[in-house]
Structure 1
Amino acid sequence: MRSILLFIFFSLPAILLAQDKYTISGTITSAKTGETLIGASVRIKSSSTGTTSNEYGFYSLSLQKGSYTIEFSAIGLGLKSQQVELNRNLTINISLEEETRELETVVVKTTGRRSITNPQMGMERLTMAETKNIPMLFGERDVLKTIQLLPGIKSAGEGSSGFYVRGGAADQNLIMLDEATVYNASHLLGFFSTFNSDAIKDVTVYKGGMPAQYGGRLSSVLDIRMNEGNNQDYDVSGGIGLISTKLNVEGPIQKGKSSFLASGRRTYVDMFLKLSKDSAINKNQLYFYDLNTKLNYQLGKKDRLYLSGYFGRDKLGVGETFALQWGNGTGTVRWNHIFSSKLFSNTSFIYSNYDYKITIRSGSNDFDIFSQIRDVNLKQEFQWYAGSRNTLRFGANAIYHTIRPGEITATSTSYINTSNRQRRYSMENAIYASNTFKASDKVNLTYGARLTGFSVLGKGDYFALDTAGNVIDTFSYKSGEIVKTYLNLEPRVALSYVFNPSVSIKASYVRNVQNLHLVSNSTTGSPTDKWVASTNIIKPEVSDQVSLGWYKNLSQNKYELTVEAYYKTMQNQVDYRTGANVFINSDAIESQLLFGKGRAYGIEWLLRKQTGKLSGWFSYTLSKTERKIDGINNNNWYNARQDRTHDVAIVGSYQLNKKWNFSANWIYYTGDAVTFPAGKYRVDNQVIFYYTERNGYRMPSYHRLDLGATLQLKKRKKYTSELAFSLYNAYGRENAYTIAFRESKDDPQKTEAVRTALFKYIPSVSYNFKF
């Protein structure tokens, strides 16, 4: 608290000196739907002075007394100008109309001028229009698959919605839906993500120096905002694909003041299974469903209330003997209040839950395994538009974590036995503040800090271990008793220097702290991987990252070129002892773990064409990611599993005419680092493989071409429809999903490597409509 107060105290002189006399403020919305617009541009004509709307469409701009022409604009919406005579504070609420001409392309970001001057590094903002013309698996638009085509963001592998950012592991990404944490963002074991594109308005990903309001993860933040619902008219949209169907309904509750949204989706692979005459197949289950809902109410000129929720579930079953189900549930209540033309407040109460259940039926003995992580979060934030040169953002939040590592119920014909692994409780508190300061026409600066306190709480037993991982002492704590508290200060700073309107350089430094950790010793990831909190032994992970970037707009902003380099160090990284099994000794899971440090460094290129019939981008990442942990690889540096030297993506979209759009993307990356056996020996006539160097081998390189086409069918004022075609893996590359080793049947002295591929060619077609 002292650090944050000192930060605000030293910021005040600059803020107060920069204050101007009068302020223009208001909310920017879409005239057609009434949706508030995120990142809409507010500019003084023929000037570099301006601002953008926040996550709720609110803007504030302070100017000297005088006459101005203010221009309001947003992606896909027409420019609106307004002449003002500024001699007092003004409230100007603006509704932007859709452009009357056909758009030739979808611009990925706002104007190049903003990307050049904004000190924020490593940030990408997407709308759902950007995912529309990208070929996808099974024809399902997917925001997670789209961001993996950007530099520095790497797919966790075929059939996985997980991703790696700048050398971090998949659990080091904070994924939020309307501010609620989503702990498992995958459906159908990773083939789909949990995010229904019809319910999503805006996606922002931070892979570098994320702002101070975000915390809890080392590598990145994926901030997803749901649509609010049309408060002007009723809309129904949806799609029918080969294996899934979705429906979206929205409309006004009270026209112009309140609205609702309900969006649902379900796959029906299980229905195809039931058509089989084979009882071993038709009794299997494989499907998911999810539901997004949102309500918003304009309580008055200065108050708005939002209620949003998500619920999704996956079910996988093999006959009557095995069943696995998992899913997320989130709920968010938010209250926006405008205290004045310069002070905006958001209060949020947030609930998040992830759980899975495994059921095993073996006749005389049945087992049920249940695990859960649940958060209750209260957050208060203020945005103070102190003047034309300063915007201060500060707030606090408190999260209560409950982790149920596993509750096992065994049932037989004669008894029922329940074994509950210890629940873990913790409280994560944070206060933060940051200021965006326009020092001059050439220099822009964002600086801030986040102070986190993580308290490990009872009830339960905690342990002391020797160097071999054996429990040597046990400490018991009562309910609510503090076991240990970790305090960490996370300073953050970013700077941009503008050489001219088309060229700038940027630099940033950020420290992040993570107190929740995902442990798994599988190579592909699983819904049953275990989340564990920091304990008296497991310390918070800490990363320090410095970045440097060069930004250039070409041919009057038709092209955008960015180059960013980074170097990141990581403390208290978690890996597994050789032969570890995280499902045994679960109350002392630390006995299966080792801790050390990591480093990641690389350079990223992105060249994007933003206008014309042909649009798209080329991205390339050259990087290295390593770990060094005592007890692994003879205490030497070794490749992290997510280490990939090269990662390339080429994305293109061509608008042939008003009816046809063609698209393609090609992906290449170096194979993952893996641990393969270095030899074998035989014990009791059983072959045992032995391993030496951790992650010292590579999977084969991965590459794939996807093709897509969209045919616009009917397009009328009240009804539109289209057919979307895609061909996943167009040239049939059999990329390795796993490689297993076995003795040769012909010669037992030889060992065979057996490669398994998931997909070859996957064509798909879907019908989408809106009325």
Structure 2
Amino acid sequence: MNRQQLKSIPALLGEADIGRSLQYLPGVTSAGEGASGNNIRGGRTDQNLMLINDALVLSANHAAGFLSPFNAEVAESFLLYKGVMPSYYGGRSASTLAIRMRKGDFETWKAQLSGGTAVQKILIEGPLRKNSVSILSTGRLSTVNWMFNRARNADVQSSKVNFSDSYSSISAKLNSKHFLDVALLTTQDFLQVGDRFGYEWSSYVGSLAWKGVLTEKLSASALFATGSFKNGFFELNSPQAAKLNNGLGYNQFKLTMFWSNSKHDVTAGGESILYQTLPEMLSPADPESVVEPDEIQKGRGLESSFFLSDDWTLSPGITLSIGLRYSRFQGLGPENVYSYLDGVPRSINSITDTTYYSANSRTKTYDGWEPRASISVKLSTNHSVKVGYSRVFQYIHSLSNTASPTPIDLWQLSTPHISPQTSDNFSIGHHANLKNNKWSTTLEAFYRASSNQLEYKDFADLNLNPHIETEVAQGFGKSYGVEIQVKRNSGKWTGWLSYTFSRSLVQLNSPDPEFNVNRGQWFAANHDRPHVAALVINRKLWPKGLMGITANYATGRPLTAVDTYYFLDGATIPNFSDRNQYRIPNYFRIDFSVTTGSVFKKIDDSLTFSVYNLLHRDNAFSVFFQPAPDQPRPLPYQLALIGVAVPAISYTVRL
């Protein structure tokens, strides 16, 4: 998918979005509307590595989960590696999304202004020193609260959604062979539901990058980056009014060397990331609150790696890509590490000792080798086959009390009791170009086996828990599937149809009955959606006009439901089904957009009109049980985050 195709896909609030648009590709889905991140080939959202200019992005949750923080207007390119990835990427077991932002114009000053019903944008770029130093700066600000004010429901009227983001960069050509870039990405989000509770979260990524040509065949790059993700939950207007905050920060350094000749493209280097988990803090939200302040200190972790890869052209029709990565993780203090009785389930009551590790002292070390290999064979002018394998270690995990990822999920580093996840990925695919590249087709099959996959016991208590290992267990995971895409590349009508059949399963077979889920049998992961299909249709209307129609279908995600009830001493006691035995209703949505190439003569402008959820469908986000009037037992209810069509208009002028 290129930037032009990205802009042609209708989106909520009229915003072209990289993260959401990826869901139209085979093998990519999400837990539902409002869920943060994507699930790629059966992986969890925390198993995706996201990079902006090679700098680590800790969270893509933005605009209440409906947008990612990457402004498509300044994206130069983005590559998605599903499953098998090069050895110079690592640390996440499912995929890598590498986004490269463009530089500011080195010759002339330019500006772009966009105003609409939901989002306002500005972009300025130009030379600070002509043909030598350029600057680019862009920002987005939401203006959607007027929609809530017009609602009839009092809770909706008092709800608020605010988000903003900015991206700025300065690029310098030191000479004809050396280049320097400084960039900063920031995001701010606030979501309040009525006058009862809400979420707020923010992030930043700052980077300094150097690239240089050393010889005719040798070049190098160096990157220093720092970033942070902070989030919080707050409850209002109750005796328990409180704020709960947590987060994660990091410092990253990466050095890469590139060497090439007619048959080899060799990449080698190393990378280190120092993670700092921010304290988890509870504080009263107002003077009337009965909540007592509390704080949990967490440790740090150092992830280091060395990598080597070679793209080797064996013949004009055969390319072999081989690589090896060595990764190492060291848990660092200050942190308390608990010891437990052997042979009994881990719990507060089975703690036998507490060891305090001072700042920078080593609590645990993990390491391993990660081989990567793929071969691409050109069968004919229009047909090719590719086979690949990769192993990946993941040393950082996301913890969530919900089936769908939320802004306040906790980041958890590997510890003496929580081992890194290991993933072995296999894939085979066939690609064909038909009728002089007017049509193209892709067919791929994949299998992924995982170990030490994190799962939770029922009703796990994850917040303000200094011994989190008593609430989680590690088991096995497997994902497999087939992906199909048929694409029309040229003509007035373009677009594609994609379909994915896949399963994502988990097994927890533990002697501890609290973690022996479904009697040790394989069960569906929270994000398991066997059938997913997407249709994208684009039509050129006039020299610069474009119409886009998209359709999405997905099997409903798994649900643990109340099977039966029994009554005891006048109380109704629910009996739950096996974990993820049922499913919420299937998902279906159609979106529409049309863009004019010019509104006013002699002005470079455009007008975009879009409708999200054209058919007004009440797609279920979740199903929950609660007491009902005149009923002896709780009844199931369906929650839809967006149950109406959402129109948006945006006008853009380029100066």
TM range (shorter): over 0.9
- Tell me the CA shift for residue 637 of structure 1: 0.7
In the TM superposition, 1:409-448 aligns within 5 A as 409-410=283-284, 412=287, 418-448=293-323
Residue type of the partner of 2:647?
Answer: P
Aligned to 2:500: 621
Deviation at 1:616?
Answer: 0.5
Deviations 1:295-350 (A, max 9, x none): 00001111110000011101234677755320111100001111111111111001
Distance of 1:496 and 1:158 partners within structure 2: 37
Structure 1 residues 152-199: Cα deviation after superposition (integer angstroms, max 9, x where no partner): 111221233421111111111111222222222122321222122222
Q: 1:506 maps to what in 2?
A: 386
**Distance of aligned partners of 1:647 and 1:439 in 2 relative to their CA distance in 1, 3 Å threshold:** same
**Residue 365 of structure 1: how far off its partner (Å):** 7.2
Q: Per-residue displacement from partner, 1:550-597 (whole Å, max 9, x unpaired)?
A: 11111111111111111110000011012212125x111111001110
Aligned twin of 2:490? 611
> Which position in structure 2 is the counterpart of 1:102?
none
Counterpart of 2:638 in structure 1 is 755
Kept after mapping to 1: 8 A contact 2:162/2:191? yes
Is 1:538 aligned with 2:418? yes
Q: What secondary structure is seen at the aligned counterpart in 1 of 2:5?
A: helix
Show the counterpart of 1:481. Answer: 361
The secondary structure found in structure 2 opposite 1:211 is coil
**1:760 match: secondary structure:** coil
The answer to which of 410-419 and 184-193 deviates more is 410-419
Structure 2 gaps of 5+ residues are: 510-515
Relative distance call for 1:752 and 1:216 in structure 2 (3 A) is same
Q: SS of the residue aligned with 1:759? A: coil
**Does the residue aligned with 2:417 lie in a helix, a strand or coil?**
coil
Alignment-mate amino acid for residue 551 of structure 2: W
Contact 1:619 1:650 survives alignment (8 Å): yes
Matched, 1:195 2:195: no
Which secondary structure does the structure 1 equivalent of 2:585 belong to? coil
Match of 2:461 in 1: 581
In the other structure, the counterpart of 1:468 is 345
Residue 7 of structure 1: aligned partner: none
Alignment of 1:204-215 (within 5 A): 204-215=79-90
Question: What amino acid maps onto 1:658 in structure 2?
Answer: P
The answer on whether the counterparts of 2:227 and 2:249 sit within 8 Å (CA) in structure 1 is yes
- Aligned residue for 1:240, secondary structure, equals strand
Contact 1:366 1:412 in 2 (8 A): no
* Aligned pair partner of 1:730 in 614, 626, 629: 614
Percent of pairs with identical residues: 30
1:669 paired to 2:575: no
Alpha-carbon distance change, 416 to 698 in structure 1, aligned in 2, over 3 angstroms: closer
- Paired letter, 1:468: P
For 1:398, the equivalent position in structure 2 comes to: 272
User: Which segment drifts farther, 200-209 or 279-288?
Assistant: 279-288
SS of match in other structure, 2:527? coil
Matches within 5 A, 1:627-642: 627-630=506-509, 631-642=516-527
> Which of 576, 584, 587 is 1:702 aligned to?
587
Match of 1:383 in 2: 258
CA distance in 2, matches of 1:599, 1:274: 46
3-state secondary structure, aligned to 1:198: helix
Given that 1:127 and 1:201 are in contact with CA atoms closer than 8 Å, whether structure 2 keeps it comes out as no
Of residues 634, 649, 652, the one that matches 1:765 is 649
Q: Which amino acid in 1 is paired with 2:527?
A: Q
RMSD, matched Cα: 2.3
Q: In 2 relative to 1, CA 317–309 (structure 1 residues): closer, same or farther, beyond 3 Å?
A: same
Corresponding residue for residue 590 of structure 1? 469
1:262 counterpart SS class: strand
Q: What SS does the corresponding residue of 2:462 show, helix, strand or coil?
A: coil
Asked whether the equivalents of residues 144 and 161 of structure 1 are also in contact (C-alpha less than 8 Å), the reply is no
Residue correspondence of structure 1 range 281-292 to structure 2 within 5 A: 285-292=160-167
Partner of 1:560: 440
Q: Which residue of 2 aligns with 1:295?
A: 170
Partner of 2:30: 155
1:370 CA drift (Å): 2.3
Which amino acid is 1:419 matched to? D
**Structure 1 partner of 2:512:** none
The residue type equivalent to 1:219 in the other structure is: A
Matched position secondary structure for 1:308: strand
Q: How does 1:87-486 map to 2 (within 5 A)?
A: 126-270=1-145, 285-317=160-192, 322=197, 324-360=199-235, 367-385=242-260, 387-410=261-284, 412=287, 418-465=293-340, 467-471=344-348, 472-473=351-352, 474-486=354-366
Name whichever of 276-285 and 309-318 sits farther off. 276-285
Give the CA deviation at 1:449. Answer: 0.7
2:539 counterpart (645, 654, 657): 654
SS in 1 for 2:598: strand
Structure 1 residue 284: Cα displacement: 5.2
Cα distance in structure 2, aligned partners of 1:166 and 1:281? 36
Give the secondary structure class of the aligned counterpart of 2:458: coil
- Look up the match of 1:551: 431
CA distance in 2, matches of 1:566, 1:279: 49
SS in 1 for 2:466: helix
Match for residue 513 of structure 2? Answer: none
Find the counterpart in structure 2 of residue 52 from structure 1: none
Give the Cα separation in 1 of the matches to 2:413 and 2:568.
39
> What is the CA–CA distance in structure 2 between the aligned matches of 1:160 and 1:537, rounded to whole Å?
29
In the superposition, the TM-score normalised over structure 1's length comes to 0.80
Alpha-carbon distance between aligned partners in 2 of 1:155 and 1:138, rounded to the nearest angstrom: 19
Q: Secondary structure at the match of 1:693?
A: coil
Superposed, 1:518-537 pairs within 5 Å as: 518-537=398-417
Q: CA deviation at 1:360?
A: 4.5
CA deviations on 1:508-544 (whole Å, 9 max, x unpaired) are: 0000111110011212221111110000011000000
Residues 664 and 753 of structure 1: is their aligned pair in 2 closer, same or farther, counting only changes over 3 Å? same
Q: How many residues are paired up?
A: 642
CA contact (8 A) 1:633 1:692 kept: no
- CA distance 1:637–1:730, shift in 2 (3 Å): same
C-alpha distance after superposition, 1:682-733 (max 9, x if no partner): 456443322231111111111111122111224878x411111122222222
Give the residue type in structure 2 aligned to 1:589. I
Residue identity opposite 1:576 in structure 2: Y
One-letter identity of the residue aligned with 1:337:
G
CA distance in 1, matches of 2:410, 2:400: 7
